[in-house]
Chains A and B, each alone.
Chain A
């Protein structure tokens, strides 16, 4: 089997050569261009990347230097990563939607002399912060449009760079030998890539990963999930995110599978359907969005279709999970499920692009049990993993057949996990990082003296299953004034499992009670408003609507009821809530680029609201500055209402000896 051979290659360029020898004529990459899927085989990719690397070298890129990669998932940007690695240079991918300021920080910190960018938009963004990037000399770009009148002394189309490399190869036979020595000279212990963390906690840090460790980690998971050269993945997640680099780039090179790039970011859903990947990853948020869309469309469907859908989804909920896990199911159940698969689940999966998915993962945040079970019940082998950039993704993953919605699975092969005294999860893994770029102090902070990485997450091993359970960031777990345990995320997630609620921020640490700020989901609540003749002109108006408040109040009451079931959590019931007048947005710094709430920042920004939650007022005025997509600023003011909640009495002991 292929993955075994991978162990012999300790850098990605060496793996690329191996793949070109082993799977030469098989597809390595696809992208839809002008409406038609274009394919590059492993041989062609190797050929292109070699020429590209030579071209980059001629522009001056040298071993050990860094090169920024800015843009969406495009083959040419992935080739930029490969070509840089061939030369021993270190690629530094940056989130394509980062605002100029964030971009400047990363580019300056990484000391890039080169940048490979997607198009004019990214070039303009970099140009706007050029005074902060004295080291940046050359930029290469994919999309020529709009760039004709730019000063081309330091701008080069990637195509031309590749052509230049090809010409050099043709003109001088020694060039080919030179690039081969360069590839061979790459050591497994050299930095292979620097991935900047999204900055959930303060400014982002550059995580340095080496080739050898990356390949080792990817080899383990490729074997774990039995991935091979016949698999297909759609690379639609941000290039700069560890998940994309691991799941698609590293695993793709190790297993030799084909990575397809969407036509553009807006067509990803259609492309998913056309490509029909066999390996799929989606954050819980995306899965939720998909389900919400399906449900909304079903509400609008005809009577018969609606009945059929709901009946068979009921069947799936009853038997689907057990069939997927290979557990015994009565014959009638099997027959009904088989019929449901023909009439509902099959077509539904086809529409969502899941027909061929063999292994699907979700991670990044807790996933609602209903949501998780829904996908599994219709036959999608969705599993959870837990990981972080510092581990080069995987720390734990659920093996087939051992799936629970509230755990993240046992440790991955060759990963060692322990729980520290303060409840923090710590690990040692084959893929773990070698340090933060230019920041030994932070590196030392993140490691224990015996070489374990501190995740900063609080968790424990479930007694029943032996799987890891993550409850919250270790430093976020607080206490109410009466000493009750308060994990904010646990409460937030319980609320977020309602489709109407998009985002929640819970407060309670060092307070008398728990209070929350809620963001409604415009799609779900908007559709509800349409069906119930609720008239609104803006997000702000809808968010403040009394009927919306009534609806959310019901959700909060349900969450309180469920919290009351748990003796430890009963004291952390929600006493007051408000609905925010604007959507929390990464452009305003309220969310990270990976869409996690930045609680502390929000508490400062919405100070008057937080104060009002605790001083008993019925409403509060707030005025906040917002950043539009084009970086201009404006102000939104609103009067936000606050509602009080009844709390449930803590559940009486069940009277069972447990």
Chain B
């Protein structure tokens, strides 16, 4: 359904590249010597069996973990060390496997929180809500309302997220990530725990985000149907090692991937 984009058909320039990255916790190698890239405007899936190192990989990209070896180049800048704060400033936003929202705050306020980095007036002016601070507030609020409209969550605007069903919380979390206007959006299992209808809605939103905002998306997902439908390219990890990388069709036919998922007779 999406245009095929094999290695020779590039969606755009390389936005982020991961080169020979390794990370271990004590004796456990979470990620060993993994290299791949994410191109501008594509939807890139990272898949693999449980414990393959997918979330660790996202955490490395996000700057939450520091790799012991290897280099990461994001928007042309190579780094070996970065904090999540820098990543956010640099234009990387993410959602979490287990929803991480401010439960007591409304959906609107949660999404507004995503705008924090874009606010320039200082605390004092914001407290007064006067002049430029007010203009800025109105502008941010407009952006947030656009996202609410985009995600069709108008009816829960004023409801504390703790009272919302799980599927909607996930949507609010996506909204908060979008509010950052990221260049790269990392989605950690956006469909986990959802029913079929919610999954379809979420898939549509992911495609729409990619289409409408042109946001590059890297996602981890277990639902193979979803992954194959959504993504342009897929990278497969198993026990921290990259075992395959290519278009959904290539991955489907890859014997190594099939073995990793189903196990092999020894």
| Inter-subunit contact A630/B200 (CB<8 Å) | yes
CA distance A267 to B158 in the complex (A): 11
The interface bits of chain B over 188-213 (1 if a CB of A lies within 8 angstroms of the residue's CB, else 0) are 00000000010010001000100110
CA distance A35 to B150 in the complex (A): 12
The interface bits of chain A over 463-490 (1 if a CB of B lies within 8 angstroms of the residue's CB, else 0) are 0000000000000000000000000000
Q: Could you say which of A143-151, A167-175, A250-258, A516-524 contacts chain B?
A: A143-151
Given A34-B145, A34-B146, A35-B148: A146 in contact with B154 (beta carbons within 8 A): no
A401 to chain B, nearest CB (A): 38
Q: List 11 A-B pairs, Cβ < 8 Å.
A: A32-B154, A34-B146, A34-B149, A35-B148, A145-B150, A145-B212, A149-B211, A264-B152, A264-B155, A270-B158, A630-B200
A629 within 8 A of B: yes
B70 to chain A, nearest CB (A): 37
B142 within 8 A of A: yes
Given A34-B142, A34-B145, A35-B145: A146 in contact with B204 (beta carbons within 8 A): yes
A290 to chain B, nearest CB (A): 16
Q: In chain B, residues 130-169, which have Cβ atoms closer than 8 Å to a Cβ of chain A?
A: 141-142, 145-146, 148-150, 152, 154-155, 157-158
Contact residues in B for A148 (Cβ distance below 8 Å): 211-212
CA distance A263 to B148 in the complex (A): 12
| Inter-subunit contact B211/A146 (CB<8 Å) | yes
Using CB atoms, name the residue of chain B closest to A629: B197
Contact residues in B for A270 (Cβ distance below 8 Å): 155, 158
Q: A35-B157, A629-B197, A630-B197 are in contact. List 8 more A-B contacts (CB 8 A).
A: A34-B142, A34-B145, A34-B149, A146-B211, A146-B212, A263-B155, A266-B154, A266-B155
Using CB atoms, name the residue of chain B closest to A146: B208
Contact residues in B for A264 (Cβ distance below 8 Å): 152, 154-155
Q: In chain B, residues 197-242, which have Cβ atoms closer than 8 Å to a Cβ of chain A?
A: 197, 200, 204, 208, 211-212
Give the residue among A35, A36, A270 with the most B Cβ atoms within 10 A.
A35
CA distance A105 to B148 in the complex (A): 35
A301 to chain B, nearest CB (A): 17
Q: In chain A, residues 12-51, which have Cβ atoms closer than 8 Å to a Cβ of chain B?
A: 32-36
B138 to chain A, nearest CB (A): 10
CA distance A266 to B197 in the complex (A): 17
Q: Top 10 nearest A-B pairs by Cβ distance? A: A266-B155, A34-B145, A35-B145, A267-B155, A263-B154, A267-B154, A264-B154, A146-B208, A34-B149, A148-B211
Q: In chain A, residues 553-604, which have Cβ atoms closer than 8 Å to a Cβ of chain B?
A: none
Q: In chain A, residues 606-631, which have Cβ atoms closer than 8 Å to a Cβ of chain B?
A: 628-630
Give the residue among B142, B155, B157 with the most A Cβ atoms within 10 A.
B155
Using CB atoms, name the residue of chain B closest to A149: B211
Using CB atoms, name the residue of chain B closest to A267: B155
A469 to chain B, nearest CB (A): 39
Contact residues in A for B158 (Cβ distance below 8 Å): 270
Q: In chain A, residues 266-286, which have Cβ atoms closer than 8 Å to a Cβ of chain B?
A: 266-267, 270
CA distance A34 to B154 in the complex (A): 9
CA distance A630 to B197 in the complex (A): 8
A326 to chain B, nearest CB (A): 39
CA distance A23 to B157 in the complex (A): 34
| Inter-subunit contact B208/A145 (CB<8 Å) | yes
Contact residues in A for B150 (Cβ distance below 8 Å): 145
B263 to chain A, nearest CB (A): 31
Q: In chain A, residues 325-366, which have Cβ atoms closer than 8 Å to a Cβ of chain B?
A: none
Q: In chain A, residues 105-151, which have Cβ atoms closer than 8 Å to a Cβ of chain B?
A: 145-146, 148-149
Using CB atoms, name the residue of chain B closest to A144: B212
Contact residues in B for A263 (Cβ distance below 8 Å): 154-155
B5 to chain A, nearest CB (A): 15
Contact residues in A for B145 (Cβ distance below 8 Å): 34-36
Using CB atoms, name the residue of chain B closest to A266: B155
CA distance A266 to B200 in the complex (A): 19
Q: In chain B, residues 104-125, which have Cβ atoms closer than 8 Å to a Cβ of chain A?
A: none
Contact residues in B for A145 (Cβ distance below 8 Å): 150, 208, 212
A419 to chain B, nearest CB (A): 46
CA distance A33 to B146 in the complex (A): 9
Contact residues in A for B157 (Cβ distance below 8 Å): 35
A629 to chain B, nearest CB (A): 7
B99 to chain A, nearest CB (A): 21
Contact residues in A for B146 (Cβ distance below 8 Å): 34
Contact residues in A for B149 (Cβ distance below 8 Å): 33-34
CA distance A356 to B6 in the complex (A): 63
Using CB atoms, name the residue of chain B closest to A121: B204
CA distance A35 to B153 in the complex (A): 11
Using CB atoms, name the residue of chain A closest to B212: A145
CA distance A423 to B142 in the complex (A): 60
A81 to chain B, nearest CB (A): 24
Give the residue among B141, B149, B157 with the most A Cβ atoms within 10 A.
B149
Contact residues in A for B142 (Cβ distance below 8 Å): 34
CA distance A145 to B212 in the complex (A): 8
A277 to chain B, nearest CB (A): 19
Give the residue among A34, A264, A266, A628 with the most B Cβ atoms within 10 A.
A34
Using CB atoms, name the residue of chain B closest to A632: B196
CA distance A630 to B200 in the complex (A): 10
Contact residues in B for A36 (Cβ distance below 8 Å): 145
Using CB atoms, name the residue of chain A closest to B211: A148
Q: In chain B, residues 51-89, which have Cβ atoms closer than 8 Å to a Cβ of chain A?
A: none
Contact residues in A for B141 (Cβ distance below 8 Å): 35
Give the residue among B152, B154, B158 with the most A Cβ atoms within 10 A.
B154
A628 to chain B, nearest CB (A): 8
Using CB atoms, name the residue of chain B closest to A143: B149
CA distance A162 to B155 in the complex (A): 30
The interface bits of chain A over 144-160 (1 if a CB of B lies within 8 angstroms of the residue's CB, else 0) are 01101100000000000
CA distance A34 to B211 in the complex (A): 21
B155 to chain A, nearest CB (A): 4
The interface bits of chain A over 202-230 (1 if a CB of B lies within 8 angstroms of the residue's CB, else 0) are 00000000000000000000000000000
Contact residues in B for A628 (Cβ distance below 8 Å): 197
A15 to chain B, nearest CB (A): 32
Contact residues in B for A146 (Cβ distance below 8 Å): 204, 208, 211-212
Using CB atoms, name the residue of chain B closest to A32: B154
CA distance A591 to B208 in the complex (A): 34
Contact residues in A for B211 (Cβ distance below 8 Å): 146, 148-149
Using CB atoms, name the residue of chain A closest to B146: A34
CA distance A145 to B209 in the complex (A): 10
A149 to chain B, nearest CB (A): 7
B141 to chain A, nearest CB (A): 8
Contact residues in A for B208 (Cβ distance below 8 Å): 145-146
B64 to chain A, nearest CB (A): 33
CA distance A289 to B180 in the complex (A): 39
Contact residues in A for B152 (Cβ distance below 8 Å): 264
CA distance A149 to B149 in the complex (A): 20
Contact residues in B for A266 (Cβ distance below 8 Å): 154-155
CA distance A270 to B148 in the complex (A): 16
CA distance A551 to B162 in the complex (A): 33
CA distance A71 to B208 in the complex (A): 21
